[in-house]
Amino acid sequence: MRKMNSRQAAMAALLAFASAKAPAVPVLLTDTGHYYEHISGVFNWADAQSDAQARTFNGVHGYLATVTSSVENAFLGILANDGWLGGSDQAIEGTWVWADGPEAGTVFWQGGVGGSSPTYASWGGGEPNNLGDEDYLHYSGGTWNDLSINNQSFGYFVEFDPPSGNAPAPLTLSLLVLGMLGLRLSSRRSR
Ligand SMILES: [Ca+2]
Ligand SMILES: [Ca+2]
Ligand SMILES: [Ca+2]
């Protein structure tokens, strides 16, 4: 077995620590100022949406996560490999909008495969293909796929806006996760 260099060893230690202490509370991403958590379980998209809205953190109601940057997208991948996101083209086929949260009603994708985004999107190859009428956004390993609402095999990502008051933030964990992100980015750059 090849010996790890110091950066790889540090990364392995961080990953081991993170998986041993899987966050049971929402984690802050300083880039957006929002908090995120992956909820495991068996949900179709609509059930995930109402479950997210029923949750509160720091007195703020949650919503199915909206992803508007590559940093936010990568951050979710640290929390879990897959889950529902808050996007849908159920109202108008091929017009993808964020359902809830600050971006509610905002179009993030126009058209099917080969369409365009006015903001940010991370579709996997050949998606969104609307196969058998797929209208709901699913995250898997950093890329997106449109799936049918009847898919129930997944957990989901919940996002919380910052509290309006001055509630303390779980800084330790967020700094750890940001450190991991930084390591990933720097090791990618050095390749
Ligand atoms: Ca968001
Ligand atoms: Ca569709
Ligand atoms: Ca699809």
- Domain edges within the chain: 41-189
Q: What is the pLDDT along the chain (191 residues), one digit of tens a residue?
A: 455 566 665 555 555 445 544 557 999 999 999 999 999 999 999 999 999 999 999 999 999 999 999 999 999 999 999 999 999 999 999 999 999 999 999 999 999 999 999 999 999 999 999 999 999 999 999 999 999 998 877 899 999 999 875 444 555 455 555 555 565 555 555 44
Distance 146 CA to ligand 2 centre (A): 7
Q: Which CATH superfamily is 41-189 part of? A: Mannose-Binding Protein A, subunit A (3.10.100.10)
Residues 6+ apart with CB under 8 A from 118: 107, 108, 110
In the reported structure, the alpha carbon of residue 186 is separated from the centroid of ligand 1 by a whole-number distance in angstroms of 24
Q: Do 82 and 140 form a contact (C-beta atoms < 8 A)? A: yes
Task: Find the 188 Cα to ligand 3 centroid distance in Å.
Answer: 29
